[in-house]
Amino acid sequence: MDYRDRHVIVTGGTGALGAAVVGALVEAGATCHVPYVVAAEAERFALRQHERVKLVAMSDLGDEADVARLFGSVDQLWASIHLVGGFAMAEVAKTTKAELMKQLEMNLVTAFLCSRGAVNAMSGRGGRIVNVAARPALEPRSGAGMAAYTASKAAVVAFTIALAEEVAKLGILVNAVAPSTMDTPANRAAMPKADHAAWPKVEEVAATILFLASPQNAVTRGAIVPVYGRA
């Protein structure tokens, strides 16, 4: 896939999946704009000194003004990939309204605001948007014990499909991936007895994202692509 001379925003780009996505993008020729909130994550980011990686300090990806500044700072935006989000494992009986709203803020609101910023930045030129849902969003029964998270990711699914229909006429193709548990150091530590070999690797999930965000994707829109591996 050829991303030469194309600018891409990647939220959550300093995380495990984000690093794989940014690494693949720069290898394909893209210039990546990577917002971060926690300075320590930016300092640990292996690609922070790459000539085509632009780290952008932000206070909150759920803040309208902050997101507007981010998207206003990138000329000729081609794609916007939204990996930032949050997870909480809790039964409904033990979940407060504040905790529910936090899941919605971290997953739905950030995807909504960044997608809005991308649509405005891509106006008249077209482009690509990729959101991240989750397996429980497509299989809600598997979301028992994490209903707030499941509901927030299901909202990302509905939003992605609706937005895809809304902006197709503008030449903007919107899709999402829905990973199962990915093979990351943090997930291995949290679930040491799981079958780690069955989990999708971040590089494999990144490859799917790269296609959906690429010029080579000429027709796919409104898709929620399961990236489960053998899990």
Residues annotated as catalytic are 149
Whether 44 and 21 have beta carbons less than 8 Å apart is answered as no
- HEC string of 138-183 equals HCHHHHCCEHHHHHHHHHHHHHHHHHHHHHHHHCEEEEEEEECCCE
Residue with tokens 């809304």: 166
Q: Exposed, middle or buried, 133 (CB in 10 Å: 0-12/13-18/19+)?
A: buried
**Cα 175 from Cα 195, distance rounded (Å):** 29
Please count the CA atoms within 13 angstroms of the CA of 193 that sit on its side-chain side.
Answer: 0
- Report how far residue 3's alpha carbon sits from residue 82's, in angstroms, rounded to the nearest whole number: 18
